[in-house]
Amino acid sequence: MNQDMRRDFASRGELIAYLREQFPEAAQGDEQVPAQRGGRRAAEAALQAVRPHAYGKTRNFLDGAVTRLSAYLRHGVLSLAEVRDHALRQVRQREEAAKLVNELAWRDYWQRVYAEIGDGIWRDREPIKTGHTRYADALPQDIQQGETGLACIDAFSRELRETGYLHNHARMWLAAYIVHWRRVRWQAGARWFLQHLLDGDPASNNLSWQWVASTFSHKPYFFNRENLEKYTAGIYCRGCPLAGHCDFEGRYEEIEARLFPNRPAEPASPPRRR
């Protein structure tokens, strides 16, 4: 009756085949399973590779020295304190690890908010500040399939589904595109992310979506092509059929006026980054 599930597998392939059979619904969307491994051993190896100083200088770039520890932190395989202590041991001066410690704190912060509001993470924390009131309930198919025609967005969609990981900046761009350019409720995007992210965490995820949407921040987060091009070394724009006339062209003020025509004007400055 109460049968234990198997623990003896000769190989990763055998484990995956077993789980495919045990969880057929979950297996439907995933033809392949990404290479990133679960478990403490893999987590420790990833921890050894952390370079706090380089992280601080390059983390906003898609090819920057980000840690990719999120799935381990999410599931408590590593603790925030452990990563912080390790990072501090790697540097001569505390300041060299300051950026990483600050980012780790974002996770601690979202977890504290979650402890306070529980399922409230699924509801707007504050009124939305975009000047719009109507948002679509469902995530459009072209985004889910990676068929919008925008090389960057389609690549992020594919990477999310195939690897279960996206760089923080890519998450921000993709979320902003969904909420502000396509005017879809943030909850629809949040749900999609949680299906796929190996680090999928209701608090970090939903509250970050709310930060992008402006229901948990002072103003909506958006970007322009120049910003995306800079932090991606142009790899998407270069081969994009829409290059030069895509939805993201223009100065911040122009895009802001296009996206949020009903929003009370504010002194122009690029949105603050996390």
Ligand X SMILES: Cc1cc2nc3c(=O)[nH]c(=O)nc-3n(C[C@H](O)[C@H](O)[C@H](O)COP(=O)(O)OP(=O)(O)OC[C@H]3O[C@@H](n4cnc5c(N)ncnc54)[C@H](O)[C@@H]3O)c2cc1C
Residues found near ligand X in the complex (CB under 6 A): 59, 66-70, 73-74, 103-104, 106-107, 110, 167-168, 171-172, 175, 193, 197, 199-201, 204-205, 208-209, 212, 274
**Considering beta carbons, is residue 91 or 243 the nearer one to ligand X?**
91
* In the complex, least distance from residue 177 CB atom to ligand X, rounded to whole angstroms: 11
Across-strand partners of 184? 136
Determine the Cα–Cα distance for residues 192 and 186; give it in Å rounded to an integer.
Answer: 10
Binding track, positions 22-61, relative to other proteins; x by CB under 8 A:
xx-xxx-xx--xx-xxxxxxxx------------------
C-alpha distances out from residue 144 to 174, 207, 234, 272, Å: 11, 21, 23, 28
Contact at 8 Å (CB) between 56 and 98? yes
Amino acid, res. 236: Y
CA distance 62 to 78: 24
For other proteins, the binding residue among 14, 57, 63, 85 (CB under 8 A) is 85
Strand partners, 136: 184
**CB 131 within 8 Å of CB 261:** yes
Question: Based on CB atoms, which residue is closest to ligand X, 208 or 214?
Answer: 208
Residue 109 binds to other proteins (criterion: CB under 8 A): yes
- Of the candidates 46, 50, 69, 77, which one interacts with other proteins according to CB under 8 A? 77
Q: How far, in Å, CA of 85 to CA of 172, rounded?
A: 28
CB atoms within 10 A of CB 41: 10
Burial class, 206, CB count within 10 angstroms (exposed 0-12 / middle 13-18 / buried 19+): buried
Q: Which of 203, 213, 237, 240 binds other proteins (CB under 8 A)?
A: 203
Rounded distance, CA 86 to CA 50, Å? 9
Q: Which is nearer to other proteins, 54 or 88 (CB)?
A: 88
**Min separation Cβ 243 and other proteins, Å:** 32
Q: Contact region for other proteins (CB under 8 A) — 5-13, 166-174, 226-234, 254-262?
A: 5-13
**Which residue's CB is nearer to other proteins, number 105 or number 268?**
105
Task: Please give the single-letter amino acid code of residue 163.
Answer: T
The window from 84-92, 166-174, 226-234, 257-265 that contacts other proteins (CB under 8 A) reads 84-92
* Cα–Cα dist 178/190, whole Å: 10
Rounded to the nearest 10 degrees, what angle do helices 202-213 and 186-196 cross at? 150
Question: In the complex, what is the shortest distance from the CB of residue 200 to ligand X, in angstroms, rounded to a whole number?
Answer: 5
* Positions in 219-248 near other proteins (CB under 8 A): none
The partner in contact with residue 128, picked from other proteins, ligand X, none with C-beta cut-offs of 5 to 8 angstroms by kind, is none
Q: Helix axis angle, 98-117 relative to 80-90, nearest 10°?
A: 170
CA-to-CA distance for 116 and 123, rounded, in angstroms? 14
Residues that bind other proteins (CB under 8 A): 2-7, 9, 12, 15-16, 19-20, 22-23, 25-27, 29-30, 33-34, 36-43, 71, 75-82, 84-85, 88, 94, 101-102, 104-106, 108-109, 111-116, 118-119, 161, 164, 191, 194-198, 200, 202-203, 217, 274
